[in-house]
Structure 1
Amino acid sequence: MASQALRHFLTTLEADGQLHRVRRSVDPRFEIAAVLMERMKGDAQLFEAVEGHSIPVVGNVFNSRERLATALGAPRADLHRFILQALRRPIAPVMQEGPAPVQEVVHDGPLDLPSLLPAPTWFERESGPYITAGVIVAKDPETGRRNVSIARLRLDGGGRIMAGIAKNHHLNILADKAAAMGRALPIAVAIGNCAQVLLGSQMYLGLGDDEYDVAGGLLGEPLRLVKCRTVDLEVPADAEIILEGELRAEDRVPEGLVSEFHGFYVDYGPGTGGEIGCVTHRRNPVFQSILPAFTPEHCLLGAVAIEAVACDALQRIIPSVRRVLVTDGGMGRLHAIISMHRPRPGEGKRAILLAMGQVNLFKNVIVVDDDIDPEDPTAVEWSLAARFRGHEDLIVLPGVKADRCDPVHEDLLVTKIGMVAATRPGDGAANSRSEFALLPKGVMDRVRKTIADY
């Protein structure tokens, strides 16, 4: 069981000495970003005095696997298994009875979002302030099934917003469906969420599958929801801030350059316009932001979700798969390591191909035996040096469809690479060039038990 409120976790972090309060005045235009960038691997940062605003900003909250495990209430060593189990054992949400904390204060239109919300302007060539940790809720206008996701939202003055959404993003599909029916797509945006809601929103589920169910699985109990005031949607009752409004697929809004997870600027063309008509929040809300670009929190939240979905899919077909890790160096998106228990000949290559088919972003996948810790880069490199035979174990797939955010794609094509660096039948036998050099077990056990005496 875990708290469903971000503020409760911030209290836990502060008690553990992992929350730093920035009390001096900071400019939301670039200065917040600079502090978060300088401290991106350290304590969570709570900016108490944001110029022009009464609402504080918090960032760098979930910037390590250790921090994420603490937030989820999972042992660090079992984080991957914990998330995988939640994915396989979803729990449906329930409606909140009585008043919800997130609706204590109500702002009806007309609104001026840039004045109301302390959204940072992140990088010098971006075109305005962005909400980067807003969980967007929508429903399929045909089926009524819910979709929960995150996309960047630019504040364009008044109640206007611009959503940066890829064409294959489920939210974009729903907006297109609504446009074909001659109407806008109602949305709600929840800001200031617990780790379970954020992580659930990042799961690569099928269209029509409810990410709130995965959040419940991560919580170990149903996520509590409350009905929005002006749109037919349900939002986390314990969030900090809710925006209620709509997106219009036909309203194409220029965006210009924007930062992406690889750290470069990209220009994806026009975004989708929308309007927010109502804002509700707690009496003393906290505005949660995720520092975008190639930063730990941005990359990690995507990585742990992608690796769980990929591992679940692989294990259903290849039981010897033990784990999938999406690496930090691979930007939390593009590189993966698959741990397998003594894969049979050809099985490692099959796992690579299946992983690339499951996750379009993957373009470099390494298979290691489960005696290698995939989180240890030295151990993985050792496995490549000791077990990888280039003429047999290398897969090169040129001209494969890439995601639009891959930094080196050409006409949406990239070359994908797989490497199998795992043991084989017979490895470890005497004179096989893969027999480990070991001490006598009795001596090793005795010294291990009495090592403090040495």
Structure 2
Amino acid sequence: MARDLRGFLKLLETKGQLQKIDALVDPDLEIAEISNRMLQQGGPGLLFTNVKGTPHPVAINLMGTVERICWAMNLEHPLELEDLGRKLALLQQPKPPKKISQAVEFGKVLFDVLKAKPGRDFFPACQQVVIKDEAVDLNKLPLIRPYIGDAGKIITLGLVITKDCETGTPNVGVYRLQLQSHNTMTVHWLSVRGGARHLRKAAEQGKKLEVAIALGVDPLIIMAAATPIPVDLSEWLFAGLYGGSGVQLAKCKTVDLEVPADSEFVLEGTITPGEVLPDGPFGDHMGYYGGVEDSPLIRFQCVTHRKDPIYLTTFSGRPPKEEAMMAIALNRIYTPILRQQVSEIVDFFLPMEALSYKMAIISIDKAYPGQARRAALAFWSALPQFTYTKFVVVVDKDINIRDPRQVVWAISSKVDPSRDVFILPDTPFDTLDFASQKIGLGGRMGIDATTKIPPETNHEWGEPLESDPDVADMVTRRWAEYGLGDLDLKEVNPNLFGYDMK
């Protein structure tokens, strides 16, 4: 499969997971409405070939299931994501091998890093057509407006590429951009993100910040850019590790930045520090419209694209959405890294209904009193992306954390709120969370739903109810004899909740 958007579209078509729509559709509200209904049904990716006001096809919902995300990452099953996470964990905190097998494993990882280094394409497909200066007109792009209350048209799945003006280190992020005029857009990023840091550095030196927006890239690169794992590796190298081979990069025409050579579109521009315009409101992943914020203004002086380019997009909102599916996949990648950071954690899960980051459920192999509280505190500080996790529920290792029934049972049967619930007030928080009393400042709650041991409790814990093992085996053997149909030993249908990828 070719490592670009077109190759992934062909793969989805081969697997019966791409629906082409030739009917005329409007990028204003209609495309998002159609896509949202398909997301709710777990439907295929969509390719709109007849879009009002533009000659360019629009692809959406390509990563609307975890299965399709795995395909984008050259994997067949979600459990393989943990193998990738183990590789990244080894790179993050390498340890001297104690066995020959460990040395061999580490050697394989280093070889993977060598294969993952990006290459250079001197005749890139993304520059088959070049448009400069006064000819630049962003209105010709099929930008969507997902919700009726949105302030305007947006870019959602563009790779926003900037560079540190001191070190030259690039940053690749996925940020929302709002169309402001035929050649300007505002970019909405949090102050902790790489692009925002680069802008502050440029401002200190009195320089403009160069920006490139790569649109319609290999979905695997989008996954790499959306992975905020604290490893001293570039997003390009991450993408190479994800895909098994290096990303081919091309030098931009008017800015000193590199972009994926097979991008469908590339927008090149600059930000003058201090030049801002109101951005928003827009529907966000919280399920509400966000506020209006003054955001940096990008002035574009060049657009390049492939011949007959395809525009890739998505939109935010209350789950399920494509971003929620991406978060579920990243959950699996994080797991080995988190185990390395917090040794007592057996498994962890971010429920999609909790926006895939607002609530974490972690299981531990409990060995001493107070360990659940320690694990919750360690979780909040383990990785930057957990800073905004509002609730952490800690359960014993025998609880299936992907089964809501078991988790609710553990909370209900093992928690005394006066003892097992603790709150950290006034911590830095998500500015999109309207539940906080003060925007950007909120509390966090930890819930210890583990079995209590002295001195956490001064009485004996009850014995858990269990079937007699001999009788249980006998019943299993005789099940067909009872005439009760096929025996399903699963405690919960994994498709019921859409998470249990075991």
Report the TM-score when normalising by structure 2: 0.81
Q: CA deviation at 1:333?
A: 2.3
Q: CA deviation at 1:93?
A: 3.0
Q: CA deviation at 1:173?
A: 1.5
Q: How far apart in 2 are the matches of 1:281 and 1:173?
A: 28
Specify the structure having the higher radius of gyration (Cα).
2
| Structure 1 counterpart of 2:323, one-letter code | H
Aligned 1:46-445 pairs, distance under 5 A: 46-88=47-89, 89=91, 91=113, 92-206=116-230, 209-295=233-319, 296-302=321-327, 304-305=329-330, 308-309=333-334, 311=335, 314-342=338-366, 344-357=368-381, 358=383, 359-411=386-438, 412-423=440-451, 432-440=462-470, 442-443=473-474
What is the aligned partner in structure 1 of residue 46 from structure 2?
45
* Alpha carbons of structure 1 residues 110 and 83: separation in structure 2 relative to 1, 3 Å: farther
* Alpha carbons of structure 1 residues 189 and 448: separation in structure 2 relative to 1, 3 Å: farther
* Alpha carbons of structure 1 residues 83 and 362: separation in structure 2 relative to 1, 3 Å: farther
Q: SS at the partner of 2:195? A: helix
Q: CA deviation at 1:82?
A: 3.5
Q: Is the 8 A contact 2:358 2:388 kept in 1?
A: yes
Q: Is the 8 A contact 1:188 1:242 kept in 2?
A: yes
Q: Is the 8 A contact 2:159 2:172 kept in 1?
A: yes
| Structure 2 counterpart of 1:128, one-letter code | G
Q: How far apart in 1 are the matches of 2:407 and 2:134?
A: 56
* Alpha carbons of structure 1 residues 433 and 116: separation in structure 2 relative to 1, 3 Å: same
* Alpha carbons of structure 1 residues 336 and 111: separation in structure 2 relative to 1, 3 Å: farther
Q: How far apart in 2 are the matches of 1:336 and 1:288?
A: 31
Q: CA deviation at 1:141?
A: 0.6
Q: How far apart in 2 are the matches of 1:221 and 1:188?
A: 23
Q: How far apart in 2 are the matches of 1:247 and 1:51?
A: 31
Q: CA deviation at 1:218?
A: 1.1
Q: CA deviation at 1:393?
A: 2.9
Q: How far apart in 1 are the matches of 2:257 and 2:178?
A: 21
Q: How far apart in 2 are the matches of 1:437 and 1:113?
A: 70
Q: CA deviation at 1:423?
A: 4.8
* Alpha carbons of structure 1 residues 453 and 153: separation in structure 2 relative to 1, 3 Å: closer
Q: Which deviations, in whole Å up to 9, do the C-alpha atoms of 1:245-304 show, x marking residues without a partner?
A: 122231111124122210111214211101122222222221111122224212333454
Q: Is the 8 A contact 2:118 2:240 kept in 1?
A: no
Q: Is the 8 A contact 2:411 2:449 kept in 1?
A: yes
Q: How far apart in 1 are the matches of 2:248 and 2:130?
A: 20
Q: How far apart in 2 are the matches of 1:319 and 1:8?
A: 40
Q: How far apart in 1 are the matches of 2:342 and 2:468?
A: 32
* Alpha carbons of structure 1 residues 386 and 12: separation in structure 2 relative to 1, 3 Å: farther
Q: SS at the partner of 1:218? A: helix
Q: How far apart in 1 are the matches of 2:312 and 2:270?
A: 21
Q: Is the 8 A contact 1:110 1:158 kept in 2?
A: no
What is the aligned partner in structure 1 of residue 497 from structure 2?
none
| Structure 2 counterpart of 1:24, one-letter code | A
Q: CA deviation at 1:435?
A: 4.5
| Structure 1 counterpart of 2:57, one-letter code | P
* Alpha carbons of structure 1 residues 120 and 350: separation in structure 2 relative to 1, 3 Å: same
Q: SS at the partner of 2:36? A: helix
| Structure 1 counterpart of 2:11, one-letter code | T
Question: Paired residues, what number?
Answer: 449
Q: How far apart in 1 are the matches of 2:404 and 2:132?
A: 52
What is the aligned partner in structure 1 of residue 11 from structure 2?
12
Q: SS at the partner of 2:8? A: helix
Report the TM-score when normalising by structure 1: 0.89
Q: CA deviation at 1:448?
A: 8.8
Q: Is the 8 A contact 2:78 2:329 kept in 1?
A: no
Unpaired runs of at least 5, structure 2: 92-111, 455-459, 488-502
The more displaced of 88-97 and 166-175 is: 88-97
Q: SS at the partner of 2:213? A: strand
Q: How far apart in 2 are the matches of 1:337 and 1:15?
A: 37
Identical residues among aligned pairs (%): 26
Q: CA deviation at 1:453?
A: 8.5
Q: Which deviations, in whole Å up to 9, do the C-alpha atoms of 1:67-124 show, x marking residues without a partner?
A: 2122223343415414413533583532234422222222223244433210101222
Root-mean-square deviation (CA, aligned residues, Å) is 2.9
* Alpha carbons of structure 1 residues 373 and 239: separation in structure 2 relative to 1, 3 Å: farther
What is the aligned partner in structure 1 of residue 99 from structure 2?
none
Q: CA deviation at 1:208?
A: 7.0
Q: Which deviations, in whole Å up to 9, do the C-alpha atoms of 1:6-43 show, x marking residues without a partner?
A: 22222222222221112111111111111112222322
Q: How far apart in 2 are the matches of 1:78 and 1:207?
A: 22
Q: How far apart in 2 are the matches of 1:184 and 1:190?
A: 19
Q: Is the 8 A contact 1:139 1:147 kept in 2?
A: yes
Q: CA deviation at 1:363?
A: 0.6
Q: Is the 8 A contact 1:55 1:117 kept in 2?
A: yes
Unpaired runs of at least 5, structure 1: none
Q: Is the 8 A contact 1:320 1:340 kept in 2?
A: yes
Q: SS at the partner of 2:242? A: helix
